[in-house]
Every structure is written in C-alpha cells, then in structure tokens.
C-alpha cells in the first residue's frame, strides 16, 4: 500500500498529539487532603461504590438490550398470520412456494435467452430476497420431480438446484403443480412467461384452498414467429410407386403476428437417405401440408427410424423435429373374413368377389388377400394381417370381436360390412360394445322406396384425401337402396360417405393416434343393397381406406415426453435404447431405460426421439417414438387478463407483480415496504418497524440511565443537598 | 508558665462577648447529687442539715425535736422528723480530646478568636480550638458558681491537666493548659476513662469534648465505666463544618490524620453516602449517651460556641427543674 500525499498523513499523525497535550495540560494535579473522619469516609466510599455498581449493571443491561433489539430489527422479524400453519413453519420465518414453468413452451428463445432462463432468473432473485430462516419450495409445471419439496430453509442448496435445472420437452401440468403446492391461506408464486403452450388445453380445474393466493409473474409480451411440425404421417404409396419410397404427409403450422409470405424447407432423413420438400407460405397463412418421399433400402423389410425437421431455426426449436419409424413391409396383407361360396343376393358375385376385385384390380399389386373363415379367427391369422374385412359379422362371436378389438388397438385395420342376408343388426351389438364405439345401428335395415344417392360435399375425410378431387364425380352414380341407419355421438366417428338424408354410408371410428382403424359400411357389399361394388368408386374407396389406414398406423408406440409407461405392450421388451433424437439432451441415464413386464419405465422419457425396445438378449422387439406435443410448444404470448382470469377461475385471490424486481427492491430500496408481492408472499408481517421504535425507546432509556448513573448526576444531587 | 506558651494570648480571647451574654442567665446544675467541698447551688447526695426540705421520717427515740414537723403532728398526732438536702459544690472535669484528628479545621481564623498551638501556623480554626473555647466557657461559668473545675487533655491517655479548683484565677490556668498542649496520637477511650476515674473519686460531671470519630464500642466502654461509678457526663461532639457537610467539590486522595492511610475518591460522588454515614454515627452516639443518661450536643466549629452551649445548658436546667418539682 502507498500514499498519494504522504505529507497529509504526517500532518494527521502529528495532529493526534494535540488532544493528548490538551489532556495532559489540563489534567488536575491533586494533592492529598488531610481528613480526620477517615472511618466515616471509608464506609461512605464502600456504600457509594456498591450503589454505583448497581447503576452501572443496570446501564450494562440496557445497553446489551439495545444491541439485541438492533440485531433483531436488522434480521427482519416477521409475525406469522394466525391462519398460517405454525406447526410446520418455524416461528418468525416466512415460506415462499414457487411453481416454475419448465414445460416445452418455455424453450422459446428470444435474443439467445430462453423463456425458462428468464423465469429461472426471476425465481433465483426471489430466493435471494429471502432471509435466513425463511423456507422455499419449488414445484415444476411438468411432470418431473419437484426441485425443492417439501419447503426447505437451506437456501444455498435450493439456489444450486434452481441454477442446475433445465426445461423439459413436456406439456404443462399446471393443475397438478398448483394442487400439489397450494396450502390453505398460503401463497403460490407461478413463475412463467405464460406463452400459449404453457396454458394447456383449457381453464384450470384445480380448486383453490380457502384463503389461498396466487402471485403470477408478468406474462411475456414479445411475439415471435414460430413454425412447427404438427404431424408427419405416412400415407399410402400411390400406385406404381416404388416400394422403397414412402410418402410422408407433413402438416406445418405457423404462429406469430404479421405472418408474411415465406418458405419453409422440410427435410426427411431415414438412415442415409435425405429428402427435402419446400412449403411456400402465403401472407397470413397459418397451416400448410406437404408430402416428402422418404427413401428406404429396396425390398428392405426392416424398420427404420425417421427424422423430419425444418431446416430454418426459429424461436421454438423443440417443435421443428418429428420422429417416426418406417416399417419396410413390401405389401399389405388383407384378411377377408367370410364364409366360402357366398353369392350375392342378386346372384352373381358375392361380397368377397367384389372385395377381391376392388383390392386386386390387376396382377402384381401390393395387396395380398387371405380368406379367413369366421370360425377360425385367432391371433395367428390376425397377426399376419394389416387389415381385415369382415363380410360376415353375424358369424363372429363376442370372443372374436374382443380379439379383433385388441388387435385393432395394436394397429389392425378392421372394416365391417353387413352380410348380404342381414335382416337385423343384432351382430352389431358385440362390435359396438367391444370397440366401445357408442354407436347405434338400427335393428332392421332401411328399405328405401327409392334408392338414395350419396351426398356430395366438398370436404372429405383425410383418409380419402388422395381421391378427394374426384370424389364428387365418383360418388354421383352411387345409389343405395338398403342400409342400416347409424347414429354416432359427436366425436365418436367420421362419415366418409354420406347418403343424401345424412345417414352415413361409410363411417370411420375416431381413434387414438397410431392405433388401428374401424370402418363400418352401413350397406352390404352387394348389388342388392347398393350399386357401389359395380361402380368405379369402389376400387379407390376401398384401397384408400385400407392403404391410408394401414399407413397411418405407427409401428411400435408413440408417447409424449414425460411418459413413464410404454403406452402399449411391446412383448419381451426389457429396455429402451435411444437411437435417434436430441442427443445433446441425453445422458447415459436417459439413453437406456429399463422396462418392467407391465410396461412401466425405470424413468420417464424426457428426450424426444426414437427408442428401440430390446429384449434381454439385446435384440430389437419393437419401437417407441417420443414426439413433442405441438400444442404444448406454442409460443404466442398471452394477455395478462387471460392469464389472471385463468387463475381466478380457481377461486383464489390473484396478484401480479415482478417477483424478482420486488425482491431486489425489498432488499435495498424499500427495506420497510411490506406491500411487495414477495413480502406478501411470505406468510408473515414485518415487525422491523416496531423493533426500530423499541430501539429508540431503549436508546432514550440508556441516555437517561447513563445520566443517572454518571458522576455528573451525583454531582448535581450533591450540590443541591449542600 | 510553660516554655513556648503564647505570651501574647489572653484568656479572655476565648470568651467572646456573645458567649458570655448567652450563658450568664443559666446556672450550671448537675443532674446527679454531687458531693462538694463548698456550699454551692448543686444538690448533695447526702441528706442532712441543709437548707432545702427533702422528706419526712418517723420520729425515733433519741432524735432532736428541732426538726419535728409540728404541722404534721397537729394533723395526725404522729411525730415526724423533716429531712433536708444539703447543696454542695459541683465537681466538673472537662476532658478535651488532644488527638491528631482534632487538628482538622477549615475555617479561616478571625481576629480575636484566640489560637492554640494546634492552630497556630495554619491560620485555621481547628476542632481543638473550638473544643478549648467550649471548655473555657464552661469552666468560666462553673467557676463563677464556685464549682470545682479540672481540665485534662487526652489522646492515648490523659496527657496533661489542671487539678480541680474553684478559684476564679483557676480559669487562666485552664486556658493556659489548653493553649499549650500539642495534638498527637489517637484516642484510647478505655484508658482515658480509667485514668479519669482514678483521679475523681467523688461524683463528678465529666464534660467530654471530642470529635468522637473513634469506633463506638470504645466510647461505649468509657461511658459505661463513668456510669458505673455514678458519674454524670456531657458529650460535646466537636466537628468541623466540612466534616458535617462534606461540601468539597474535587477529586483528591484523602489522607488520614491519625495514620489511617489514603482513600482516593471524588468527594462529589460519595457526598450523599458520607452524610448518611455521619448521620448514622451521630445518631448512634446520641442513643449511646441517652442510654447511659448522659447529655450530648453537636458543636459545629464554624459556628459560635454560645448558642449551642446555651441550648445544652437550657436542656439540662429544664430537666433538673422537673426533677426537683417531683
């Protein structure tokens, strides 16, 4: 250390001598005073000293008390509310519960910083605003384990956990997070940017505890353009398409303000092959579809992981990639369940012949047909089929319907048509029950006085999308003279072809993504019922139904991130191995996951991608695909009113404030402000002001006591008595 | 006259005019009946042919008829002899404390106040000076009543003294003795009492003039001896005004005058406690004296002797009057 101006230091050092000299100069030189009454004086000194000791002791106690009160005032004393759970909360400490949004929408990146990082910073600042003795609990909006639960007073460890946590790829579970963290008369701070994907599918269903409060961080207002892959489905290979080419229909969605015309490049990779498709966005266009052909090895009957991605990065990278598996099957195996030798009502060809003609119009097609007697339906025969067409449902027993339903859930496409000889629909009861359709089929077929044409509509189901341009033309000559009336509850199915009176002619049951289809013809495949088998529509109709339905079945299973179960049984699977996907987010622990016989996973699937199911020998026994839910990845900002209204629907008090900023202000600028969200969030009322005034009172008492106990006080009293 | 005696001093210097003026109306009377060599105004303890009637006794064979109370006989037909009290002269022994502590004084001397050897050179009126002034007044008064007065100076024993006499000229010798005796040592009350009793066999009024700063037990022992021999006593507690009020306002080491050591303290901080201790000490002495039937009075060396002495004598006069009337 050095001095800039040493001479000033020297002068200062010399100046110290001045008060010393003054003290020495004015120091009294006392000479002994002769005194006769020494015994009396000695006794008086003894008594005076005893009294002085008592006075000084009292002064010492008051001064120590002043220091203690000052220390307590600085430490921030808090008075817990009467309704707070004092049994679990140490006296004088507050508790801060944070629900941190770590779902996939928080991966929105603006300016190189993700929404999660901004939210985590707010949470850390709120933690820094706590005092020693306060407790903090941190729940996560995703299904992941809570970061800090139950609430802990170890703020240092909590800080470290918060700093180390990362966002997930999961959809939000805000209901569960709040329900788990809310206490009666408690306060929960929800830290999120509340982008569209974080809000879930609807209003919160959890009911708030009595007197509970929610403090929300300000919703983000920055809009950004995000293009996401909503779905990528394998579609039927067009006729005369090489079997190694797999058409993939990719559905894209855009969100943002001022959507301008642009171009998106869709890239599909399967093994070594790479295919690209371009999507031209018009101004304001929010949804688009394109087809990209994925190349697999010729005649390869294996299964290949597939990645489809957008070439251009945007604000939300998590929804720019879609994973799937292509099963390299060379043909479609269709089982026709009927009894041999059936003829049509009008004579001539029976239903099975019409089916055969429709599926194999020419030699060399990729559809193979196998006739199956209804009495021989079993797992082995059904296991060989990609689709079954049941022409004699009246001969299928309940047990066999159950078998068919189970296979359909595993991917089997089931097409049912009434038997030509049907005079009632009793056979439909077992079908409806085992497939849990909720449909109602009329008991007797409707015999129309005059045949009904088909209703011509411009919209067609996705499964008929390939023939949609020609569908109205192909439907015009169709006349149906006999049919069963079908009523479907809303959402239970789709009418692929409809009669003019609105009765479905061909209905497809709604299904879960990746499962098999159920398609019901309400009119028999017989010229005595309708002229469809003899019309051109029959071939493309039946082929598209089968091809698209079979193609849309996802090989293996498909789940969302966070799943802890396979979703569907994969026989002999003992582990899952991550083979394709977000490798940057994988660790050795997440790359290989154990599977128990019930399909439960050793740990949740947190990384999107393709997982190969392996048996105990390491051999592949199936696939599991993990894709981000595109709805959960949306990043459009949400208004504050919407967010507040959503929480108010819980029935609790909602406050909005910048928790992080208030925490900082609480510490520095407004040490005595008890109205910040953090202060309010802490279950207590600051007593610092009361301790401050107590300190002032103690200081005054000390002053008076010091005066009383001083020799000056004694002098004045002695002077008065003399 | 002893060497070193102040030849320029006059005994009358001890009798301030106001002192004499205040004492003249009073007669010094002893509470107890004392034997005296000469007739005086004091009551003799022995009843005999005297001036004042005392009581009756029944006539017995051989008694003279000169003192028969004929009035009683006329009323009761019984013969009674009148008994009379013989008034005698009072023996007064004035003992003045000559210890080193009596040298303390804070009053600057006034001209005409007369100085002792203890005071000379310091120009301060010491307690000893005040005690000698009291002794001079009392002895003068007693001598005018033809009482027999002796004087002694004591500390660790009775060091000097003047034998008892009732001569008027005896007063000057008393003053001379007091003026020339140096102050030294510390008081040993028991030894002083023993020595005094050895010199006074007849009933005597002892006037003890001291600061009585010694332990009370020692004083109690001495007074007990005097009471045991049937003597009377007056305790004259002579203190300097500063010793009574402790009005010093400085911090200084206090050094004992009789070798008690040094106490460093601030007078202002102990004033309250000191005055309380002194009050308790004086109260103890008062109770002690009353317990033995003795009188006591406090003499402030800064105040004139006359009023305090007059008050003391007035109290004694009133007591005696009540006793005689009974």
| pLDDT tens track for A670-701 | 333 344 555 455 545 667 778 888 988 998 99
Q: Of A282-296, A313-327, A375-389, A457-471, which gets the smallest average pLDDT? A: A457-471
pLDDT for res A457? 65
User: Are residues A48 and B258, on separate chains, in Cβ contact within 8 Å?
Assistant: no
Tell me: pLDDT of B188 over 90.
yes
Cα–Cα distance list, A164 to A117, A143, A191 (Å)? 11, 17, 17
pLDDT class of A32 with cuts at 50, 70, 90: confident
User: Are residues A40 and B274, on separate chains, in Cβ contact within 8 Å?
Assistant: yes
Best of B273, B279, B283 to disrupt the A interface (most A CBs within 10 Å) is: B273
pLDDT for res B24? 42
Among candidates A45, A47, A715 on the partner chain, residue whose Cβ is nearest the Cβ of B263: A45
What's the gap in Å between the CA of B185 and the closest CA on chain A?
12
Distance between CA A152 and CA A89 in Å, rounded? 10
For residue range A152-205, what is the model confidence (pLDDT) as tens digits? 888 888 899 999 999 999 999 888 888 888 777 677 888 999 999 998 876 677
**Which is more confident, A398 or B13?**
A398
Q: Compute the radius of gyration of chain B from its Cα atoms.
A: 23
pLDDT class of A316 with cuts at 50, 70, 90: very high
Select, from the ranges A136-145, A558-567, A626-635, B100-109, the one with the highest average predicted confidence (pLDDT): A626-635
Among candidates A36, A43, A717 on the partner chain, residue whose Cβ is nearest the Cβ of B257: A36
Q: Of A107-111, A523-527, B58-62, B290-294, which gets the smallest average pLDDT? A: B58-62
pLDDT class of B83 with cuts at 50, 70, 90: low
Cβ contacts of A43 on chain B, cutoff 8 Å: 273, 277
Mean pLDDT of A302-327: 87
The residues, ordered by sequence, that sit 6+ positions from A327 with a Cβ below 8 Å of its Cβ are A303, A555
Tell me: pLDDT of A722 over 70.
no
In 3-state terms, what secondary structure has residue A322?
Answer: strand
Closest-CA residue to A516 (of A561, A461, A568): A568
Distance between CA A278 and CA A425 in Å, rounded? 49
User: Are residues A48 and B263, on separate chains, in Cβ contact within 8 Å?
Assistant: no
E strand spans, chain B: 42-48, 52-58, 80-88, 91-97, 107-108, 124-125, 148-154, 158-165, 205-210, 232-239, 251-256, 262-266, 295-300
Among candidates B254, B260, B268 on the partner chain, residue whose Cβ is nearest the Cβ of A33: B254
For residue range A52-64, what is the model confidence (pLDDT) as tens digits? 888 888 888 998 9
**Which is more confident, B212 or A382?**
B212
What's the gap in Å between the CA of A37 and the closest CA on chain B?
6
For residue range A384-405, what is the model confidence (pLDDT) as tens digits? 888 999 999 999 999 999 999 8
In 3-state terms, what secondary structure has residue A134?
Answer: coil
Closest-CA residue to A293 (of A317, A326, A320): A326
Rounded to the nearest 10 degrees, what angle do helices B170-180 and B127-144 cross at? 170
> Interface of chain A against chain B, CB under 8 Å?
28, 30-45, 47-48, 51-52, 711, 714-715, 717-719, 721-722
pLDDT for res A344? 58
Best of B125, B241, B256, B283 to disrupt the A interface (most A CBs within 10 Å) is: B256
What's the token pair of residue A373?
A: 């007697």
Tell me: pLDDT of A502 over 70.
yes
pLDDT for res A553? 59
Tell me: pLDDT of B42 over 50.
no
- Structure-derived torsion over alpha carbons of residues A469, A474, A480, A485, reported in degrees to the nearest 10: -20
Cβ contacts of B213 on chain A, cutoff 8 Å: 36-40
User: Are residues A721 and B260, on separate chains, in Cβ contact within 8 Å?
Assistant: no
pLDDT class of B112 with cuts at 50, 70, 90: low
Best of B128, B271, B280, B300 to disrupt the A interface (most A CBs within 10 Å) is: B271
ipTM metric: 0.75
What's the gap in Å between the CA of A41 and the closest CA on chain B?
6
Tell me: pLDDT of B209 over 50.
yes
Tell me: pLDDT of A719 over 50.
no
Phi-psi region of A274 (alpha: psi -120 to 50; beta: other; left: phi over 0): beta
- Minimal-distance CA residue of chain B relative to A717: B272
In 3-state terms, what secondary structure has residue A512?
Answer: coil
**Which is more confident, A156 or A459?**
A156
Q: Compute the radius of gyration of chain A from its Cα atoms.
A: 40
User: Are residues B265 and A41, on separate chains, in Cβ contact within 8 Å?
Assistant: yes
Among candidates B127, B255, B278 on the partner chain, residue whose Cβ is nearest the Cβ of A35: B255
pLDDT class of A118 with cuts at 50, 70, 90: very high
C-beta atoms surrounding A131 within 10 Å:
16
pLDDT class of A319 with cuts at 50, 70, 90: very high
> Interface of chain B against chain A, CB under 8 Å?
101-104, 127, 211, 213, 215, 239-240, 243, 245-258, 260-263, 265-266, 268-278, 281
Q: Of A52-56, A509-513, B217-221, which gets the smallest average pLDDT? A: A509-513
For residue range A558-572, what is the model confidence (pLDDT) as tens digits? 788 888 887 766 767
Query: In terms of DSSP bridges, do strands B148-154 and B91-97 run parallel, antiparallel, or are they unpaired?
Result: parallel
Among candidates B249, B251, B273 on the partner chain, residue whose Cβ is nearest the Cβ of A47: B273
User: Are residues B265 and A33, on separate chains, in Cβ contact within 8 Å?
Assistant: no
E strand spans, A397-462: 413-416, 440-441, 446-453
pLDDT class of A108 with cuts at 50, 70, 90: very high
**Which is more confident, A703 or A456?**
A703
Closest-CA residue to A141 (of A172, A105, A182): A172
**Which is more confident, B32 or B146?**
B146
Distance between CA A184 and CA A258 in Å, rounded? 45
Cβ contacts of A35 on chain B, cutoff 8 Å: 104, 254-257, 263
pLDDT class of A132 with cuts at 50, 70, 90: confident
pLDDT class of A660 with cuts at 50, 70, 90: very low
pLDDT for res A391? 93
Closest-CA residue to B206 (of B91, B45, B38, B46): B91
Tell me: pLDDT of A718 over 50.
no
pLDDT for res A341? 59
User: Are residues B270 and A711, on separate chains, in Cβ contact within 8 Å?
Assistant: no
pLDDT for res B260? 83
pLDDT for res A7? 82
pLDDT class of B198 with cuts at 50, 70, 90: very high
Tell me: pLDDT of A541 over 50.
yes
Best of B100, B241, B270, B272 to disrupt the A interface (most A CBs within 10 Å) is: B270
Mean pLDDT of A248-263: 88
Tell me: pLDDT of A611 over 70.
yes
Share of chain B above pLDDT 70, in %: 74
Among candidates A48, A719, A722 on the partner chain, residue whose Cβ is nearest the Cβ of B269: A48
Cβ contacts of A33 on chain B, cutoff 8 Å: 248, 252-255
Cβ contacts of A34 on chain B, cutoff 8 Å: 104, 254-255, 257
Cβ contacts of A48 on chain B, cutoff 8 Å: 265, 269-270, 272-273
User: Are residues B255 and A33, on separate chains, in Cβ contact within 8 Å?
Assistant: yes
**Whether the Cβ atoms of residue A650 and residue A214 lie closer than 8 Å to each other:** yes
Tell me: pLDDT of A29 over 80.
no
Mean pLDDT of B64-77: 83
User: Are residues B277 and A30, on separate chains, in Cβ contact within 8 Å?
Assistant: no
**Whether the Cβ atoms of residue A425 and residue A443 lie closer than 8 Å to each other:** yes
What's the gap in Å between the CA of A24 and the closest CA on chain B?
17
- Minimal-distance CA residue of chain A relative to B268: A715
pLDDT for res A588? 65
pLDDT for res B252? 76
Instruction: Give the helix/strand (H/E) hosting A375.
Output: none
pLDDT class of A271 with cuts at 50, 70, 90: confident
User: Are residues B252 and A722, on separate chains, in Cβ contact within 8 Å?
Assistant: no
Place of tokens 């579609």: A235
Cα–Cα distance list, A134 to A82, A94, B196, B272 (Å)? 17, 5, 88, 55
Mean pLDDT of B282-287: 95
Closest-CA residue to B212 (of B302, B116, B106, B97): B97
User: Are residues B255 and A34, on separate chains, in Cβ contact within 8 Å?
Assistant: yes
Distance between CA B247 and CA B256 in Å, rounded? 18
Cβ contacts of B246 on chain A, cutoff 8 Å: 722
User: Are residues A40 and B213, on separate chains, in Cβ contact within 8 Å?
Assistant: yes
Distance between CA A212 and CA A655 in Å, rounded? 11
In 3-state terms, what secondary structure has residue A480?
Answer: strand
Q: Of A221-230, A305-314, A510-519, which gets the smallest average pLDDT? A: A510-519
Share of chain A above pLDDT 70, in %: 81
Among candidates B240, B252, B270 on the partner chain, residue whose Cβ is nearest the Cβ of A45: B270
pLDDT for res A41? 92
Cβ contacts of B254 on chain A, cutoff 8 Å: 32-35, 38, 41
**Whether the Cβ atoms of residue B92 and residue B205 lie closer than 8 Å to each other:** yes
Tell me: pLDDT of A328 over 80.
no
pLDDT for res B38? 33
Best of A29, A41, A722 to disrupt the B interface (most B CBs within 10 Å) is: A41
What's the gap in Å between the CA of B44 and the closest CA on chain A?
40
Distance between CA A58 and CA A709 in Å, rounded? 9
What's the gap in Å between the CA of A721 and the closest CA on chain B?
8
Select, from the ranges A438-442, A467-471, B188-192, the one with the highest average predicted confidence (pLDDT): B188-192
Cβ contacts of A31 on chain B, cutoff 8 Å: 252
What's the gap in Å between the CA of A680 and the closest CA on chain B?
56
In 3-state terms, what secondary structure has residue B93?
Answer: strand
Share of chain A above pLDDT 90, in %: 22
Mean pLDDT of B91-116: 79
Mean pLDDT of A518-533: 92
Tell me: pLDDT of A382 over 80.
yes
Residues B47-63 as b/e (b if ≥16 CB within 10 A, e otherwise) read eeebeeeeebeebeeee
Q: Of A61-65, A510-514, B129-133, which gets the smallest average pLDDT? A: A510-514
Closest-CA residue to A418 (of A427, A409, A405): A427
- Minimal-distance CA residue of chain B relative to A714: B269
- Minimal-distance CA residue of chain A relative to B265: A45
What is residue A496's DSSP assignment? E
pLDDT class of B196 with cuts at 50, 70, 90: very high
Place of tokens 């078998």: A403
Best of A27, A36, A43, A53 to disrupt the B interface (most B CBs within 10 Å) is: A36
Q: Of A336-350, A466-480, A596-610, which gets the smallest average pLDDT? A: A336-350
């Amino acid at each position: 250390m050095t001095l800039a101006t040493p001479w000033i230091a020297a002068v200062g050092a010399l100046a110290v001598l001045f008060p010393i000299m003054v003290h020495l100069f004015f120091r009294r030189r006392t000479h002994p005073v002769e005194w006769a009454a020494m015994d009396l004086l000695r006794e008086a000194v003894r008594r005076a000293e005893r009294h002085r000791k008592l006075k000084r002791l009292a002064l010492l106690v008051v001064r120590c008390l002043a220091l203690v009160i000052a220390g307590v005032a600085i430490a921030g004393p808090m008075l817990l509310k009467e309704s707070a759970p004092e049994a679990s909360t140490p006296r004088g400490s507050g508790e801060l519960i944070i629900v941190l949004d770590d779902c996939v929408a928080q991966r929105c990146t603006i300016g190189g910083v993700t929404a999660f990082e901004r939210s985590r910073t707010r949470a850390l600042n709120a933690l820094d605003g706590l005092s020693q003795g306060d407790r903090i609990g941190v729940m996560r909006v995703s299904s992941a384990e809570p970061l800090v639960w139950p609430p802990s007073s170890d703020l240092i460890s909590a800080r470290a956990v918060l700093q180390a946590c990362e966002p997930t790829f999961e959809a939000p579970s805000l209901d569960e997070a709040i329900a788990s963290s809310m206490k009666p008369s408690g306060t929960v701070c929800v830290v999120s940017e509340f982008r569209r994907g974080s809000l879930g599918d609807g209003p919160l269903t959890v009911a708030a505890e009595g007197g509970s409060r929610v403090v929300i961080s300000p919703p983000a207002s920055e809009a950004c353009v995000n293009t996401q892959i909503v779905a990528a489905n394998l579609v039927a290979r067009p006729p005369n398409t090489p079997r190694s080419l797999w058409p993939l229909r990719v559905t894209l969605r855009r969100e943002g303000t001022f959507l301008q015309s642009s171009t998106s490049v869709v890239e599909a990779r399967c093994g070594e092959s790479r295919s690209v498709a371009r999507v031209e966005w018009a101004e304001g266009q929010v949804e688009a579809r394109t087809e990209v052909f994925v190349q697999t090895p010729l005649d390869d009957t294996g299964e290949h992981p597939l990645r489809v991605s957008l070439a251009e990065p945007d604000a939300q990278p998590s929804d720019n990639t879609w994973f799937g598996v292509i099963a390299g099957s060379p043909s479609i195996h269709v089982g026709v369940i009927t009894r041999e030798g059936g003829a049509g009502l009008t004579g001539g060809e029976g239903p099975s012949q019409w089916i055969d003609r429709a599926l194999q119009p020419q030699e060399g097609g990729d559809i193979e047909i196998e006739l199956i007697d209804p009495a021989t339906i079993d797992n082995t025969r059904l296991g060989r089929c990609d689709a079954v067409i049941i022409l004699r449902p009246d001969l299928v027993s309940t047990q066999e319907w159950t078998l068919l339903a189970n296979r359909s859930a595993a991917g089997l496409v089931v097409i049912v048509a009434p038997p030509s000889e049907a005079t009632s629909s009793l056979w439909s009861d077992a079908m409806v029950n085992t497939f849990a359709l909720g449909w109602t089929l009329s008991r007797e077929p409707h015999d129309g006085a005059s045949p009904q044409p088909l209703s011509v509509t411009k919209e067609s189901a996705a499964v008929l999308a390939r023939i949609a341009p020609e569908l109205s033309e192909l439907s015009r000559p169709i006349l149906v003279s006999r049919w069963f009336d079908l009523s479907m509850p809303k959402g239970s199915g789709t009418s692929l072809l409809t009669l003019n009176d609105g009765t479905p002619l061909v209905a497809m049951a709604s299904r879960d993504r990746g499962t098999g289809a159920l398609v019901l013809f309400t009119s028999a495949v017989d010229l005595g019922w309708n002229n469809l088998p003899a019309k051109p529509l029959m071939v493309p109709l039946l082929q598209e139904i089968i091809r698209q339905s079979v193609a849309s079945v996802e090989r293996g299973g498909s789940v969302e991130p966070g799943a802890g179960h396979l979703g569907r049984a994969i026989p002999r699977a003992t582990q899952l191995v991550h083979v394709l996907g977000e490798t940057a987010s994988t660790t050795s622990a997440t790359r290989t996951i154990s599977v128990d016989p019930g399909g439960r996973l050793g740990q949740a699937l947190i990384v999107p991608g393709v997982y190969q199911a392996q048996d105990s020998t390491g051999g592949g026994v199936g696939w599991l695909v993990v894709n981000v839910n595109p709805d959960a990845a949306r990043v459009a900002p949400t208004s504050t009113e919407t967010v507040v209204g959503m929480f108010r629907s819980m029935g609790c008090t909602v406050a909005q404030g910048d928790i992080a900023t208030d925490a900082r202000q609480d510490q520095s600028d407004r040490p005595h402000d008890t109205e910040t969200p953090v202060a309010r969030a802490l279950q207590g009322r600051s007593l610092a002001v009361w301790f401050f005034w107590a300190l002032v009172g103690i200081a005054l008492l000390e002053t008076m006591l010091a005066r009383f106990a001083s020799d000056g006080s004694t002098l004045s009293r002695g002077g008065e008595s003399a | 006259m002893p060497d070193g005696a102040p030849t320029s001093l006059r005994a009358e210097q001890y009798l301030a005019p106001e002192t004499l003026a205040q004492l003249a109306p009073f007669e010094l009377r002893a509470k107890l009946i004392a034997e005296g060599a000469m007739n005086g105004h004091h009551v003799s303890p022995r009843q005999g042919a005297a001036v004042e009637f005392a009581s009756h006794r029944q006539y017995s064979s051989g008694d003279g008829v000169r003192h028969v109370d004929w009035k009683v006989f006329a009323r009761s037909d019984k013969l009674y002899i009148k008994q009379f009290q013989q008034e005698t002269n009072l023996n007064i022994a004035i003992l003045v404390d000559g210890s080193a502590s009596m040298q303390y004084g804070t009053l600057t001397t006034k001209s005409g106040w007369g100085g002792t050897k203890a005071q000379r050179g310091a120009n301060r009126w010491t307690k000893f000076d005040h005690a000698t002034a009291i002794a001079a007044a009392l002895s003068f008064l007693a001598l005018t009543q033809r009482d027999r007065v002796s004087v002694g100076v004591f500390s660790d024993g009775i060091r000097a003294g003047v034998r008892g006499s009732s001569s008027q000229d005896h007063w000057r010798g008393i003053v001379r003795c007091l003026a020339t005796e140096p102050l030294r040592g510390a008081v040993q009350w028991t030894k002083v009492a023993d020595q005094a009793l050895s010199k006074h066999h007849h009933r005597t009024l002892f006037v003890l003039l001291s600061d009585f700063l010694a332990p009370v037990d020692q004083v109690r022992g001495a007074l007990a001896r005097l009471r045991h021999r049937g003597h009377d006593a007056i305790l004259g507690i002579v203190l300097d005004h500063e010793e009574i009020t402790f009005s010093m306002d400085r911090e200084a080491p206090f050094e004992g005058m009789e070798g008690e050591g040094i106490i460093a303290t601030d007078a202002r901080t102990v004033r309250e406690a000191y005055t309380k201790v002194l009050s308790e000490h004086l109260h103890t002495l008062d109770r002690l004296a009353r317990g033995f039937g003795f009188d006591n009075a406090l003499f402030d060396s800064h105040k004139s002797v006359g009023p305090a002495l007059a008050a003391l004598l007035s109290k004694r006069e009133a007591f005696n009057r009540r006793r005689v009337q009974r």
